[in-house]
Structure 1
Amino acid sequence: MTISAAILLVSCGAHPTAAPPAPTIADTVTSHSASVPAPAARTLPWFNLQVGDCVDQIPAVDEGAVEVTLVDCATPHRAEVYQRAPVPVDAAVTDVANQRCNDALTAYTGSSGSYTVSYLIDSNQDRTADNPLPSIVICLLQDAGGGALTRSAHGR
């Protein structure tokens, strides 16, 4: 039985019309990776932003903007969410928001980098609930020079 297997292998290798070699894993990955489309931009209310979300613009909430457009962080974007921090309703002011955002920046990026920080405050103040932390500070980082970011700042 071993002899016939050896004979079959020899005759298969010597056949002049053998099929071309099968594509390798690298060939398959290369041919398919170019055709994968980037995720489409989508909108959502700004108060639903999560850490790691990238946006095309910071919403002008003082002008009544509610929606924000999420984009892939590998494409040019204006800002990236890097912190959501609950705060007491009476502490949701500039000093506390700045402190929470500044404290989280290095942990998110791995360095202080050259970013500017801005934030949004979602004050979901339900006075009938026993919730000591009804407000959320949503911290966003931006390029310090005002340009677009072209990749995520997480762990740089």
Structure 2
Amino acid sequence: MSIPAGWYDDGSGRRRWWDGTQWTEHFATVEAAPVPVFEPPYVAPAPQVEQFHQAHSPLVAPGYPGGPHAAASGYLAGAPVAAPAARRASALGWVALAVSLAGAVLSCIPPIFVIGLLVLLAGIVLSIIALVRPGARWPGVTGIIVSSVGALAVVTMLVSTAMISGIKELQGDTSPAPASSSGATPPGSEVIDWWELEVGDCMPSDQPYTDDSGEIVVVPCSEPHSDEVFHQYEMSQDVYPGDKATELEATETCREAFTDFVGTPFEDSELEYYGIWPNEDTWNQDDDRAVQCVVYDTDGDVVTGTLEGAAR
């Protein structure tokens, strides 16, 4: 704001001419009525501002070089202030990341996955410590992520293995059973695959092998036995007819052959029979078409010789 030119009291009681910017050397010769004392604003000489220290020059503008906010504005005497140096990762952060990666690799190897799991846990601990230490945090964060993912993968694998084992236990062990100590093969016997059975083969009731093994003990019919193969034929279908149809055909065919072999209708006989026929897997994979009919005595190994014509 500027004061217009005019006669003003300069503070000495005399009226002096103010030209709008400064006092002149002209004084009024005629006394005028008293007027209010006017003090023009103080204008600091521009050349002297740069030489005043900040503590002694309250008129220095905040953005002016050397002003109270000069450093905050990023400039000092016209030069930019250097940006702070980037934070470096601490040595512990690198160690934590390396341990986490090593644990992830070891946990993928089944024989030593437990060691890998322990290394992963150590990697998580070291990564957490690295986060609170001075320095860049990204190695610690990466270590935590790697260790967590690796540990989760190991736990998932363990749970899956346990579930599969439990399911197998519920379904039963399907592996071939070894020969029992009480089922030692008698003299003159031999072990053959069940599809090698032929008419006239005799078998003891105490078979030391399971059905899944595909092996059967055959003894001379002159030795005590219970089972005897009395009929065999080949199914004629080109395509597997299905489990039910195969079972029905084999059962009916063996029933008809039973009467001719034993000499007594099955309904009146004290003997029993069963059939051995192909399933879909053996039909397609082994080209199996053979059906064997076996007659047996329910009392066990009490038969000596053949049951042909026994009329029992």
Same structural fold, with TM-score higher than 0.5 when normalized by the shorter chain? yes
Match of 2:234 among 63, 69, 86: 86
How many angstroms apart in 1 are the aligned matches of 2:210 and 2:226?
A: 13
Structure 2 unmatched ranges of 5 or more: 1-186
- Structure 1 position 52 matched with structure 2 position 195: no
Q: Which residue does the alignment assign to 2:277?
A: 121
Shift of 1:106: 1.7
Amino acid at match of 1:135: R
How many angstroms apart in 2 are the aligned matches of 1:142 and 1:100?
A: 17
Amino acid at match of 2:214: V
Identity of aligned residues (%): 24
More strand by share: 1
More helix by share: 2
Amino acid at match of 2:295: L
How many angstroms apart in 2 are the aligned matches of 1:122 and 1:150?
A: 29
How many angstroms apart in 2 are the aligned matches of 1:116 and 1:60?
A: 20
Q: Which residue does the alignment assign to 1:71?
A: 219
C-alpha RMSD of matched pairs (Å): 2.4
Shift of 1:42: 1.1
- Structure 1 position 95 matched with structure 2 position 248: yes
How many angstroms apart in 2 are the aligned matches of 1:103 and 1:51?
A: 16
Shift of 1:40: 1.0
How many angstroms apart in 2 are the aligned matches of 1:90 and 1:146?
A: 35
Tell me how many residue pairs correspond in the alignment. Answer: 110
Shift of 1:152: 0.7
- Structure 1 position 147 matched with structure 2 position 147: no
Q: Which moved more, 1:90-99 or 1:78-87?
A: 90-99
How many angstroms apart in 2 are the aligned matches of 1:97 and 1:60?
A: 22
- Structure 1 position 41 matched with structure 2 position 194: no
Q: Which residue does the alignment assign to 1:33?
A: none
Contact 2:247 2:277 survives alignment (8 Å): no
Structure 1 unmatched ranges of 5 or more: 1-38
Q: Which residue does the alignment assign to 1:137?
A: 291
Shift of 1:93: 2.6
Shift of 1:147: 2.4
1:7-42 C-alpha deviation (Å, 9 max, x unpaired): xxxxxxxxxxxxxxxxxxxxxxxxxxxxxxxx7111
Amino acid at match of 2:241: D
Q: TM-score, normalised by structure 1?
A: 0.60
Shift of 1:60: 3.9
Q: Which moved more, 1:112-121 or 1:86-95?
A: 86-95
How many angstroms apart in 1 are the aligned matches of 2:305 and 2:246?
A: 30
Q: Which residue does the alignment assign to 2:13?
A: none
Q: TM-score, normalised by structure 2?
A: 0.32
1:29-70 C-alpha deviation (Å, 9 max, x unpaired): xxxxxxxxxx71111111010011001246642xx1211111
How many angstroms apart in 1 are the aligned matches of 2:233 and 2:227?
A: 17
The answer to which structure, 1 or 2, has the higher relative contact order (CA under 8 A, 6+ apart) is 1
How many angstroms apart in 2 are the aligned matches of 1:75 and 1:116?
A: 20
